[in-house]
Every structure is written in structure tokens, then in C-alpha cells.
Amino acid sequence: MLDTHQLVSLDHAALDVTAFRAVRDALFSHQPDLVINASAFNDVDGAESRVDEAYAVNVKGPRNLALATAELGIQLVHVSTDYVFDGAMKRPYNEFDPTNPLSVYGASKLAGEEVVRSLNLQHYIVRTAWLFSEYGSNFLLSMYRKASQQKLNVESDRYGSPTYVPHLAAGIARLIESGMYGTYHLAGGGKASRWNLVHELFERLKRSTLVVPVSHTLFHAIAPRPAYSVLASAQSFHIELPPWREGVAEFAHRLSLLKLARSGMRIV
């Protein structure tokens, strides 16, 4: 598992993945056995007008990492997205299904996959979806912070595979241990709309906020998104992440613990 290894975490301030010399120097300095690329320009709507920035981070960055890791004989894990699909299939997508991104974000992430495949044969490309955790910035955490409102409108007509970040990390750890390079789907089991996701969280937290199911057209997003991007795996070598509801349950539990800690109560 990942927690049995020494991890070195480099954020954007410590390493600009769009600068090849910086990437190469960092790898020479740290001498890792494996690199996990979790960097991304993930502002889906913003990418439509900031195309150069999206491609710099989502394509040039992976290219630099792939070139440098290949030169040094280092394995590379590259995290990608369900948005490489167009959602027209109407059934869960597996790794062999044709891609057809609808947005600049999706197209740039697909191009990032392609440069990794072509430049470093020792690669694991991991497609995941709808990530949430109690840290950082993500949709479900944002909804939790709005739970004091009496009513929230949440889209109910697009479906994906909500994925709890610790579950994804555990799945990646198992994949790395397999030594089986390739492209994989690792996402929460089952399917859900964003309304299902928020409703499940508020039920578990016993919040009285009214969560109203509405069409995605109510929000007037700039970038098109797939209506159905549920991920399934045809070649995960028995690596399956827990169902998305289990992720929400753990997420809710962690939020409760953090709330208690911030209030100064002792947790035993």
C-alpha cells in the first residue's frame, strides 16, 4: 500500500510540471521509483476560454513527466477523467470504449493520456470521476458548506460515478502493486446523479435542507458535459472500489469528526 512507502508531495509552488527542466531536475533530485501525476487544469468551464492554459497543464505537463520518467526508467501513474467520453453510450463505459470528449477540458485530458501512452511504456493511466473528500475544493464539500440553506437546487438528469478520494488512493496502490501497465477505470461503484449524491449526504448527516432535483439546464454551464459518464472496468484485475454510497458514509463520518475537533470536544 502507499502508506508503506516514503512519499514526496510536490505542489505547484514546488514544481511546475509545464517546465521540462524543472521536472527533470526534480526527478534527478528525489530519485523516485514511481511518479503519480495528480496535477490538472480542472476548471471545466474556464478551460473553454483558457485553452492554452488547459493544454499546458493537461498535455504539456504529462508529456514532460512521461519524457523524464522514461529517460530515468521510472514508472508513471497519470490520473485522467470520465470526461474523455461523450455520454452517448447510455451504459457504463469500460477502458476499450471509444472516446469522444465534448469539452476543451475533456479533449486536453485525452491528449494528456495519449502522450503518456506514447512516451513511457511503464505507465498506469487511471480514469476516475466526480471526486470528493473533506479537503480541498470539490462539489460535495461545497454542497455540505451550503447545508444551512433551507433549499438547494441540484441537477438530477446527468449520471456519473462519485468517487471518495481515499478509496481511489487505495485502488491506485493496489494497481501499482500489480505491475500491470495500461489504462484503467477506478471509480465508485454504481451510478448516481449529483442530486442522489447530495441527498445521500444530507440524509446521513440528518440535515433538513430541502434538496430539489432539477435539470442541468437550469445552471447554464459554459462547457458541455456528458449526460452519462458512469465508469466500469473490463480489466481492473479484480480491483473494484467500494460503492459510492460507502464513500459518502465515510465522508460524512469524517466531516462529523472534523466538526467535533474544531469545536474543541475531545474525541475518544
How many CB atoms are closer than 10 A to CB 131?
Answer: 21
Q: Which residues 6+ apart lie within 8 Å of 100 measured at CB?
A: 85, 86, 88
Gap between the Cα atoms of 30 and 13, Å rounded = 16
Would you say how long the chain is, in residues? 268
Any catalytic annotation for residue 164?
A: no
Gap between the Cα atoms of 169 and 158, Å rounded = 25
For 229, phi then psi, to 5°, come to: -125, 40
Given a contact cutoff of 8 angstroms between Cβ atoms, the answer to whether 75 and 124 are in contact is yes
Gap between the Cα atoms of 64 and 70, Å rounded = 10
Q: At what angle do helices 194-205 and 244-263 cross, to 10 degrees?
A: 50
What is the torsional sign of CA 76, 79, 80, 82? positive
Residue with cell 437550469: 218
For β-strands 34-37 and 163-164, DSSP reports them as: unpaired
Please tell me which residue in 55, 93, 105, 144 is annotated as part of the active site: 105
Chain-centroid distance of CA 232 in Å reads 15
**DSSP 3-state of 262:** helix
Q: H helices within the chain, ranges in order?
A: 20-30, 51-55, 61-72, 104-119, 139-145, 165-178, 194-205, 244-263
**Among all residues, which ones are annotated catalytic?**
105
